[in-house]
């Protein structure tokens, strides 16, 4: 069932046992698990079926610290959520990413990769993925890894008709949950705004915010403030340990054999460190994106020259009335260390049209981030030279410790943390089953529960965790769990 507003939903008499907030990859994955098990569930989506500027404006906010994207651009507020603009890169976080790193505080999940592996077949079906090949070590330090460029499933397009035909899933559009209300042990209701007016309180047995890696924190921070701590009773870590995947050009390379590594469809190959290398250099995980420029013949020769003699190559290139870059570019995206001071807080000066405080995001990169970038390119270069695969040149700005360039990618638009998973009540918000500490009927879905970020794009892991959460909720609500 799909309703255009809360009024139609209320009139229908449908009684959900769970209310899921948000219809992105996490919310839809959890809802489909419950719906298929015969458990009635409602998804409240604040936006409508299509993008509108009015809806998107609710996502405005302020980022402080390092340069970051506009908060109303880096995510989408309508049916399907940010799956409507993701690029489709897929990889599940490494087993090592779930383990604690003794050299970095606050790392280590309460679950292991083996806890989500039973759900990976489902994830492949959901994201239309072909099987991943195993990582291939090319040295003791570096693994040749695989990221799959998937068809970038738009969840509204792929699952819209299934949800419309469902008798157990009610998708309710234009329904903004402005606040959850709680008494410190359980959520008692969700305050709803729809069709331009206050619709009162919606109730169910259980509530699952899946509004994304920024908005989950905002909703819970605001709800907790309004309920005097009745929504997140252990709120010390709420909004904190927020993470991104910084991404910058790290250098370039010349290769003995440009076809040394099998490239994907967009002429890219990916490399990550071994755990031993991370431990030895005391760095986080990283991914080097090796991009072979699509040059041939004379252009390839000039591009190779650009790697070694950039000024000469620039002259030649300008003479050719073209602009050629070094034949192989290295881009680095890396895991950001979880730090409590990277955080989401409620703005004290800016509110949305309904009076809810906007997000103030405090985000910066630390010395560890710079070391991970520098040592990452260095490790890759050492492997290429030692194996005689090629030679790497580290970008000047990294070697010199210059400020991060502002004209590059900056980050991945990957919003992680804020309601992180853990066992320590002062350093986490949800437990291993994604239930908010101390609350009987409040769970959180999506990348806000990431304890650490790993180095890879998060969607695949988000969907795997959400399938696991859905499976858990099916067991809690007495249905038949449906691990495929």
Partner 1 sequence: VEETVQKLSAIEAKRRMVLQALVCLPALALFDRHKMQVAEPAGEELVEIGGWILRKSELA
Residue (305 or 429) nearer to partner 1, CB: 305
The helix/strand/coil state of 442 is: strand
Question: Given candidates 129, 172, 180, 394, which one binds partner 1 under the rule CB under 8 A?
Answer: 394
Q: 360: phi > 0 → left, psi -120 to 50 → alpha, else beta; which?
A: beta
Give the C-alpha distances (Å, rounded to integers) separating 313 from 104, 395, 407: 42, 17, 22
Give the pair of three-digit tokens for residue 385: 């030279």
Residue (351 or 387) nearer to partner 1, CB: 387
Residue 395 as a binder of partner 1 (CB under 8 A): the answer is yes
Torsions phi, psi for 137 (to 5 deg)? -65, 135
Residue 259 as a binder of partner 1 (CB under 8 A): the answer is no
Beta bridge partners of 206: 18
Rounded to whole angstroms, the Cα distance separating 42 from 20 reads 6
Give the C-alpha distances (Å, rounded to integers) separating 93 from 120, 269, 447, 455: 12, 17, 12, 7
Whole-number minimum distance, CB 269 to partner 1, in Å? 18
Question: Given candidates 316, 340, 345, 476, which one binds partner 1 under the rule CB under 8 A?
Answer: 316
Stretch that binds partner 1, among 229-237, 262-270, 278-286, 303-311 (CB under 8 A): 303-311
- The answer to whether the CB of 32 falls within 8 A of the CB of 474 is no
Question: Given candidates 87, 165, 354, 399, which one binds partner 1 under the rule CB under 8 A?
Answer: 399
Stretch that binds partner 1, among 26-34, 162-170, 390-398, 417-425 (CB under 8 A): 390-398
Alpha helices in 119-238 (DSSP H): 120-127, 155-165, 215-226
Question: Given candidates 52, 228, 256, 366, which one binds partner 1 under the rule CB under 8 A?
Answer: 256
Stretch that binds partner 1, among 18-26, 125-133, 248-256, 432-440 (CB under 8 A): 248-256
Specify the pairing of strand 268-273 against strand 175-182.
unpaired
Residue 335 as a binder of partner 1 (CB under 8 A): the answer is no
Q: Name the strand (E) or helix (H) holding 334.
A: strand 328-334
Residue 391 as a binder of partner 1 (CB under 8 A): the answer is yes
Rounded to whole angstroms, the Cα distance separating 453 from 416 reads 7
Whole-number minimum distance, CB 381 to partner 1, in Å? 3
Question: Given candidates 57, 164, 385, 481, which one binds partner 1 under the rule CB under 8 A?
Answer: 385
Rounded to whole angstroms, the Cα distance separating 332 from 48 reads 36
- Tell me the HSE value of 95 on the side-chain side, using a 13 A CA sphere: 7
Residue (172 or 398) nearer to partner 1, CB: 398
Give the pair of three-digit tokens for residue 431: 């437990």
Residue (249 or 431) nearer to partner 1, CB: 249
**What residues from 34 to 93 belong to the interface with partner 1 (CB under 8 A)?**
none
Residue 314 as a binder of partner 1 (CB under 8 A): the answer is no
Stretch that binds partner 1, among 238-246, 338-346, 378-386, 431-439 (CB under 8 A): 378-386
Q: Name the strand (E) or helix (H) holding 235.
A: none
Whole-number minimum distance, CB 376 to partner 1, in Å? 13
Whole-number minimum distance, CB 402 to partner 1, in Å? 13
Residue 378 as a binder of partner 1 (CB under 8 A): the answer is yes
Rg of the chain (C-alpha set): 23
Instruction: Enumerate binding residues for partner 1 (CB under 8 A).
Output: 251, 254, 256, 297-299, 301-302, 304-305, 308-309, 312, 316, 319-321, 378, 381-382, 384-388, 391-396, 399
């Amino acid at each position: 069932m799909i309703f255009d507003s809360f009024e139609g939903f209320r009139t229908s008499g449908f009684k959900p046992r769970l209310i899921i907030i948000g219809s992105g990859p996490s919310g839809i994955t959890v809802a489909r698990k419950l719906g298929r098990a015969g458990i009635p569930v409602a998804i409240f989506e604040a936006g409508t079926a299509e993008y509108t500027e009015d809806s998107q404006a609710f996502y405005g906010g302020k980022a402080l610290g390092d340069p970051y994207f506009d908060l109303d651009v880096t995510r989408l507020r309508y049916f399907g959520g940010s799956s409507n603009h993701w690029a489709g890169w897929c990889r599940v976080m490494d087993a090592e990413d779930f383990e604690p790193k003794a050299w970095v505080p606050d790392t280590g999940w309460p679950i292991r990769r083996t806890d989500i592996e039973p759900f990976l077949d489902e994830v492949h079906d959901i994201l239309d993925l072909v099987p991943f090949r195993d990582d291939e070590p090319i040295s003791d330090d570096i693994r040749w890894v695989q990221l799959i460029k998937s068809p970038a499933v738009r969840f509204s397009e792929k699952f819209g008709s299934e949800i419309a035909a469902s008798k157990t899933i009610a998708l309710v559009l234009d329904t903004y949950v402005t606040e959850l209300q709680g008494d410190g042990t359980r959520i008692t209701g969700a305050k709803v705004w729809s069709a331009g007016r206050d619709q009162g309180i919606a109730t169910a047995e259980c509530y699952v915010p899946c509004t994304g890696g920024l908005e989950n924190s905002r909703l819970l921070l605001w709800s907790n403030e309004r309920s005097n701590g009745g929504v997140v009773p252990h709120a010390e870590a709420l909004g904190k340990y927020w993470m991104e995947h910084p991404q910058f050009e790290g250098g370039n390379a010349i290769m003995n054999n440009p076809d040394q590594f099998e490239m994907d469809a967009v002429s890219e190959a990916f490399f990550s460190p071994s755990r031993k290398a991370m431990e030895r250099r005391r760095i986080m995980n990283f991914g080097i994106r090796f991009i072979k420029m699509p040059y041939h013949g004379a252009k390839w020769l000039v591009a190779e020259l650009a790697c070694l003699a950039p000024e000469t190559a620039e002259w030649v290139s300008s003479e050719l009335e073209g602009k050629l870059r070094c034949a192989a570019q290295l881009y680095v995206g890396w895991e950001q260390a979880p730090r409590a001071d990277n955080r989401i807080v409620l703005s004290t000066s800016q509110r949305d049209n309904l009076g809810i405080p906007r997000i103030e995001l405090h985000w910066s990169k630390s010395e560890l981030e710079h070391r991970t970038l520098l040592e990452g390119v260095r490790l890759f270069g050492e492997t290429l030279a030692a194996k005689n695969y090629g030679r790497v040149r580290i970008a000047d700005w990294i070697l010199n410790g210059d400020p991060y360039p502002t004209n590059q990618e900056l980050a991945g638009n990957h919003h992680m943390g804020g309601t992180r998973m853990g066992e320590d009540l002062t350093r986490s918000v949800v437990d291993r089953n994604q239930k908010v500490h101390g609350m009987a009927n409040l769970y959180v879905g999506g990348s806000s529960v990431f304890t650490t970020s790993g180095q890879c794009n998060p969607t695949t892991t988000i969907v795997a965790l959400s399938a696991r959460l859905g499976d858990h909720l099916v067991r809690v609500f007495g249905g038949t769990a449906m691990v495929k």
